[in-house]
Amino acid sequence: MHAVQLEIAQKLNVQPRFADNDALDTEITRRVEFIKQCLANAHLKTLVLGISGGVDSLTAALLAQRAIEELRSASGDQAYRFIAVRLPYRVQKDEDDAQACLAVIKADEVHTVDIAPAVQALAAEVKALQEGTPAHVDFVLGNAKARMRMLAQYAIAGARSGLVIGTDHAAEAVMGFFTKFGDGACDLTPLGGLVKNQVRAIARRFGAPESLVEKVPTADLEDLEPGKPDEASHGVTYQQIDAFLQGEEVDAEAAEIIVASYRKTQHKRELPFAP
């Protein structure tokens, strides 16, 4: 199993544990520079990111806002902008957390797009959805919500000539815990290679409150199970996933679940099949 752990960690570019705060600060700087370089390579000045109320989008946004502020300061060009986007489906259960994240981020702009009308209109037009069980239809529409959110972000990015930031990191990537062409679609992933506890550590280093840093992660896509914790879907904890990715020993059952999830979802991490 150790050989499998090492192989997966290498493919996901898992980063070593932060030895101390200096190492943490170095990694923050590296990722901020990465964001800045992505903008430079694209000859663009705007970043767009959906804010869910969870620690992943909070951390990515904090890195993005810092990158934009540094670019403005260095260049004197006020055209550099970071746009945080709220994308609720009707009234979000944890809207207070989303607003708390926005207060920490202090984004240049905040846009809000209610995706419910678009998702409901799509559902009404897709006759195939009328044939499924309530649970299956709810799951399918959950993925439609994720894709609609990304569609909205790309519409904003297109209107403002910007790049869309994704929040995927190694602990989600290994489980395939993202919607293909939904939250898995983006222009850059500044959290790539980090495990969950490292994402939390970066947010904490930025001064985010513990209530947000340690909030129970949820994709919150299914109406029949609102706020369902990620770990309930995984069948393992993020602590076990992090340990597995960083080469530590985990119990056999947890390791088998992680490896099986990784192999089952390989198609999500690849380009579309072609002859």
Tokens (6 digits) for 166:
């994704």
| pLDDT value for 62 | 98
Task: Band the pLDDT of 263: cuts 50, 70, 90.
Answer: very high
**109-112: strand order across its sheet:** 109-112, 81-86, 46-50, 162-164
pLDDT digits (tens, 9 = 90+) for 149-161: 999 999 999 999 9
| pLDDT value for 266 | 97
Cβ-count burial of 244 within 10 angstroms (0-12 exposed, 13-18 middle, 19+ buried)?
A: buried
Q: Name, in order, each residue with C-beta under 8 angstroms of 95's C-beta and a sequence gap of 6 or more.
A: 53, 88
Left, alpha or beta for 35 (phi > 0: left; psi -120 to 50: alpha)? alpha
The catalytic position among 56, 94, 220, 242 is 56
What is the distance of C-alpha 207 from the center of its chain? 20
DSSP per residue, 60-101: HHHHHHHHHHHHHHHH--TT-EEEEEE--SSS-TTHHHHHHH
| pLDDT value for 260 | 98
pLDDT digits (tens, 9 = 90+) for 56-100: 999 999 999 999 999 999 999 999 999 999 999 999 989 999 999
C-alpha–C-alpha distance, residues 263 and 266, integer Å: 5
Provide the residue ranges of all domains of the chain, joining segments of one domain with +: 15-230
Q: Domain 15-230: which topology?
A: Rossmann fold (3.40.50)
pLDDT, average across residues 38-54: 98
H or E stretch covering 208: none
| pLDDT value for 158 | 98
Contact 54, 133 (CB under 8 A): no
Does residue 183 surpass a pLDDT of 80?
yes
Task: Band the pLDDT of 131: cuts 50, 70, 90.
Answer: confident
Start-to-end CA span in the chain (Å): 33
**Is residue 56 flagged as an active site residue?**
yes
What is the DSSP secondary structure assignment for residue 187, as one 8-state letter? S
The catalytic position among 27, 108, 168, 172 is 172
At 159, which amino acid appears? A
**Is residue 172 flagged as an active site residue?**
yes
**Mean pLDDT rounded to a whole number for the chain:** 97
Task: Band the pLDDT of 180: cuts 50, 70, 90.
Answer: very high
Tokens (6 digits) for 205:
């280093």
C-alpha–C-alpha distance, residues 245 and 239, integer Å: 10
